[in-house]
Amino acid sequence: MCGIVGFNGHHEAAEILLDGLTKLEYRGYDSAGIAVRDGSKDAKIIKAKGRLDHLKEKTDNGRSVAGTCGIGHTRWATHGEPSENNAHPHCSDDGNVIGVHNGIIENYQELKEKLVRNGYRFYSETDTEVAIKLVDYYYKKYLGTPVDAINHALVRIRGSYALELMFKEYPEEIYVARKDSPMILGVADGESFVASDVPAILKHTRTVYYIGNLQMARVGKGEITFYNLDGDEIEIEPKTIEWDAEAAEKSGYEHFMMKEIHEQPKAVADTLHSAVKDGKVDLSELGLTEERIRDFQQIYIVACGSAYHVGVAAQYTIEDLTDIPVRVELASEFRYRHIPLNEKSLVIVISQSGETADSLAALRKAKEKNLTTLGIVNVVGSSIAREADHVFYTLAGPEIAVATTKAYSSQLIATDCIAIYFGSVRGVLSDDRCAELLDALEKIPQQIEKILEDKERLQWFAAKQSNAHDVFFIGRGLDYAATLEGSLKLKEISYVHSEAYAAGELKHGTISLIEDGTLVISVLTQKRLIEKTVSNMVEVKSRGAYLMGLTTYGNYDIEDVADFTTYVPDTDPHFAISLAVVPLQLLAYYFSVSRGLDVDKPRNLAKSVTVE
């Protein structure tokens, strides 16, 4: 939630800040603002409600704002409605401290009352203004340095934050602090950069620092000094970003989502090949010993949103190929439940960003219980990657569209690799069976390309159905897992109400919602379950439903039941979801386009949920 940027160098800051915010607008687009300081002059703060274009208009794309040091923010509202008043940056009463913030200050009301008693006045409804004025309060109370003031303030703040601050008496410096909200810093050619995510600074530098929890930094021109919460200097090693700048651009596609759908073959292949050595799936580099793998009695998969749907699919595959019981848990529930956890358990936490607040909290809970943890993440150096005992990096590259596609597909392949490797180590799978499964996985990228070649039929169908008010997805087994993701994709970017159901559950209440013309989408890739699902299709058709069938080539009798049928290549049933999800992604995309909506930036949503 929310995107922050910062620049301190020799070029004009405003244009660089606005360009960085453009790359981060997927993190929030209720309002935006920048603060730029020109030498020792007072900083100029410009804010605008709505999309970033409004801020660009007010600043002539940054050309009307002079100065080489500045900070910026694009907002996803949590405290206070979207408005220019509530937009960041915020400042202290006399303009001494100016700052932006990503996260939630849980005790902001208590801190606000303290500051009011000490003469501070408030103009916004945000928790961020409270944080900025608290820093100002301690700066003046103790007459110390910015680091001292930030240190005193952070001790009082409960919640999550990525704070970026400028001080009037330190005109050529930016100060930052972090707890549970993402932040990276970069340097190049005597200039420094701050951002919530890599795409914002990728065109300027590949050398970045991942600031840790409860750490601070002073950002000079090309120099960054790091501090712990006690104010002592610490060392952080730089990392090199392997993504190229072009990966974060649209490359001729109308929307990032469509570009990322087409990048799935490469993302899947790259992730798979990172786990294959000498013709076998080999995850020994994760650091999990074979003895430990054989000792596991339970696996918990913990995630949110689409990553949770990956977990639902992985449950079927891992249990079938390893004989280990698997439980899939919503991270937001897992972190608060009192679960009798088995000591001989592996907790797999799945997150594209590696910063998802609930997933990170669930990981920490698992570690407190001394359970072995494995993170499946896409962002190197992210919080989950740093804190998990073991990490499987997916190689999806930057994903900009709010609705995930290639990250989801990469996570699926990662869990498939884990299933095959664990099954082999535990003696459940023979070498020949492992070879068959790997051969099927190797064909997935090419099969996805084949699906993408036939997307025009789905475009036609979506245009015909885009006025639907209610859509139901049904399937059994792994097909049910596919419907969960298909339904989420449709509702989040087209705003069409949709629900996914295990097909056998229809008769337990849901079928009463079916009426003439209701669109029901059935996924039928699991051969042993197709007959059962077809029976459910017949049930809803007799009540007036309009049926779409999604099945594998060869199952042409589905056309006898469905009003519209689309096909995916045949593969091992364990991996069919990797193919079935692609038409569902395309369907959601074309629904949204047909309805004239912003595909990449759906209302009320942001890419990374880094607040609770």
- Percentage of the chain modeled with pLDDT above 90: 64
pLDDT value of residue 1: 59
Sequence length of the chain is 612
Please report the pLDDT score of residue 612 as a whole number: 47
If you classify domain 250-452 with CATH, what class do you get? Answer: alpha beta
**pLDDT computed for residue 527 by the predictor:** 92
Least-confidence region, from 31-35, 190-194, 328-332:
31-35
- Which residues have C-beta within 8 Å of that of residue 106, sequence separation ≥ 6? 158, 159
As a dihedral over the C-alpha atoms of residue 525, residue 527, residue 530, residue 532, rounded to 10 degrees, the angle is -130
Which are the contacts of 300, defined by CB distance < 8 A and separation ≥ 6?
326, 327, 328, 329, 334, 341, 345, 346, 347, 348, 366, 371
What would the mean pLDDT of 366-391 be, rounded to a whole number? 92
Whether 250 is a known active-site residue: answer: no
Average pLDDT over residues 391-419: 94
Helices and strands in the chain, H and E counts: 18, 27
Same fold, 3-247 and 455-594: no
- β-strands 390-393, 31-37: how paired? unpaired
Contact 326, 299 (CB under 8 A): yes
Q: State the pLDDT confidence band at 212, using cuts at 50, 70 and 90.
A: confident
pLDDT of residue 318: 98
Mean pLDDT across 35-60: 88
Are the beta carbons of 86 and 80 closer than 8 angstroms?
A: yes
At residue 79 the predicted structure's pLDDT band, cuts being 50, 70 and 90, is: low
- Rounded Cα distance, 171 and 39, in Å: 6
| Pair 522, 549: CB distance under 8 Å | yes
State mean pLDDT over 476-488: 96
Condensed to tens digits (0 to 9), the pLDDT of residues 543-565 reads: 888 999 999 999 889 999 999 99
**Angle (CA) 507 511 517, round 5°:** 145
pLDDT of residue 608: 54
| Backbone dihedral angles phi then psi of residue 586, each to the nearest 5 degrees | -65, -40
69 is catalytic: no
- Range among 502-506, 516-520, 578-582 rated most confident: 578-582
> What are the DSSP calls for 481-549, one per residue?
HHHHHHHHHHHHHH--EEEEEEGGGTTTTGGGG--TT-EEEEEE--GGGHHHHHHHHHHHHTTT-EEEE
Q: What is the mean predicted confidence (pLDDT) over 513-528?
A: 90
Q: For residue 597, how many other CB atoms are within 10 A of its CB?
A: 16
Is the pLDDT reported for residue 396 higher than 60?
yes
Dist. CA 319–CA 298, nearest whole Å: 10
Least Cα distance to 229 among 248, 213, 240, 250 occurs for 213
Class of domain 3-247: alpha beta
Catalytic residue among 2, 69, 304, 434: 2
- Return the residue matching tokens 């400028």: 166
pLDDT at 339 over 60: yes
The mean pLDDT of the chain is 90
Query: Three-state SS string across 245-297, please?
Result: HHHHCCCCCCCHHHHHHHCHHHHHHHHHHCCEECCEECCHHHCCCHHHHHHCC
Instruction: Tell me the mean pLDDT in the region 485-489.
Output: 96
What is the percent of the chain where pLDDT is above 70?
95
Pairing of strands 69-75, 3-8: antiparallel
Residue 357, pLDDT above cutoff 80: yes
Residue pair 46/71 in contact (Cβ under 8 Å)? The answer is no
Distances (CA, A) of 261 to 253, 264, 553: 11, 6, 21
- Average the pLDDT over each of 55-59, 335-339, 414-418, 526-530 and give the range with the smallest value: 335-339
CA gap 325, 342 in Å, rounded: 11
What is the pLDDT averaged over residues 511-522? 85
Q: How large is the greatest C-alpha to C-alpha distance in the chain, in angstroms? A: 80
Q: pLDDT tier at 244 (50, 70, 90 boundaries)?
A: low
Predicted confidence band at 9 (pLDDT cuts at 50, 70, 90)?
very high
Q: Is the pLDDT of residue 235 over 50?
A: yes
pLDDT digits (tens, 9 = 90+) for 105-119: 889 899 999 999 999
In this model, does residue 264 exceed pLDDT 50? yes
Q: Tell me the domain boundaries of the chain.
A: 3-247, 250-452, 455-594
Residues 153-192: pLDDT tens digits? 998 998 888 899 999 999 999 999 998 788 889 999 999 9
Quick one: which H or E segment has residue 52? helix 52-58
Cis amide leading into 398 (omega within 30): no
Question: Of 133, 406, 601, 607, which residue is the catalytic one?
Answer: 607
Query: Strand 372-377 relative to strand 345-351: parallel, antiparallel, unpaired?
Result: parallel
Domain spanning 455-594: which CATH class is it, in words? alpha beta
pLDDT at 320 over 80: yes
Question: CA-to-CA distance for 306 and 230, rounded, in angstroms?
Answer: 39
What is the distance between the alpha carbons of residues 14 and 36, in angstroms, rounded to a whole number?
7
How confident is the model over 441-468, as pLDDT tens digits?
Answer: 999 999 999 999 989 899 999 999 988 9
Tell me the whole-structure pTM to 2 decimals.
Answer: 0.73
In a 13 Å sphere around the CA of 282, the CA atoms on its Cβ side amount to 7
In this prediction, residues 393-410 reach a mean pLDDT of 92
According to the model, what pLDDT value does residue 605 have? 67
**What mean pLDDT is predicted for residues 31-58?**
88
